Structure 1
């Protein structure tokens, strides 16, 4: 297990991380974890590594983009003094280009703004934690010519570049999803190409647990 005992692990992101969590519940309590991959990770760590006493916190919020994370980073991350931080953001930064074109949005997150803001979050955090996991945003999509998917690829590349530049752990969830879609339909994992169902959340949770050095057969 690569996570030190008695550590606090904070997961932050958008609706893929949120998944119905109770915002009013105490951080780390059952209701605060939501019903997605964060809860699954907490359950696995609690059941299989009882001696590690690991606290898992969920700070995902539906609809968030990297600029939204920046606005709440102090209160929702730094003030909680986590030992490890997992960041999954980017799908909404891209989606807004495609779901609101006729509304002429003026607050779109360009690729440059995405990179600059993301780097600022890393700069504020890196020296204060034991580790940061950068997770690639992803889609359950096999059509490489899909316009939204093509744009998402650029944002995924930025996350990977930032991980390498800052010497942080990078988890390519798109690769994990793609391997599954080589064998089964996307409808097994998601109903809208973006939000995982319970199968999809287990796939994500398993990828993160592997990165943490988790062993089911321990």
Structure 2
């Protein structure tokens, strides 16, 4: 287990992290973050961890930059989990190129945000890949998302972060299933899909 007693664990990202945490499923959402919290708490109730969800649906790294001080730095987490990038890629394929984030901007912005968080709070990092629940690795959105995931892998190495390979997790289950078993739109998981992500996190956390 990577966590120590009394630590604060903060998750930030887009709709996959948000998952209703600002609405009916407040304050943790009903997705992977809530599952990770539940299993870690059940396995190690002695740790008395504090958990915070700061996911917001539709966010890209540009949106994270706008709220980073308020939603990360001021909350001073001991561990910061960042899962961002799906919208940065998807907006291009949705016919919204002005809202998409080019890969060089994505990398530059994410690096700056991570550096600010580490320097200001001393937090440790958990970085999770963007993904598409698509078995065909040559499919255009899947192939482009892989490039952004490679950026996350590089930053994880650069910052000594724990790296959650969510695309690889979905690739494993897709060997025995179809994409619709996990999400209707290849992006927003159902509960079993969120469990796939949560299991990838738990493997990294060491539960």
Ranges in structure 1 where 5+ consecutive residues have no aligned partner = none
The separation in 2 between residues aligned to 1:168 and 1:42, in whole angstroms, is 19
1:166-185 alignment, distance < 5 Å:
166-185=159-178
Given the alignment, which residue of 113, 121, 136 partners 2:129?
136
Range 115-124 or range 161-170, more displaced: 161-170
Match of 2:201 in 1: 208
1:82-101 alignment, distance < 5 Å:
82-101=77-96
1:94-173 alignment, distance < 5 Å:
94-101=89-96, 105-127=97-119, 128-173=121-166
Range 4-13 or range 118-127, more displaced: 118-127
TM-score by length of 2: 0.94
Ranges in structure 2 where 5+ consecutive residues have no aligned partner = none
Match of 1:186 in 2: 179
Match of 1:10 in 2: 10
The number of residue pairs the alignment matches comes to 206
The separation in 2 between residues aligned to 1:22 and 1:90, in whole angstroms, is 21
Whether contact under 8 Å (2:88, 2:99) holds in the other structure is no
Match of 1:60 in 2: 55
Q: What is the Cα deviation at residue 107 of structure 1?
A: 4.0
The separation in 1 between residues aligned to 2:130 and 2:8, in whole angstroms, is 23
SS state of the match for residue 199, structure 1?
helix
TM-score by length of 1: 0.90
Matched, 1:50 2:45: yes
Q: What is the Cα deviation at residue 129 of structure 1?
A: 3.2
Whether contact under 8 Å (2:163, 2:204) holds in the other structure is no
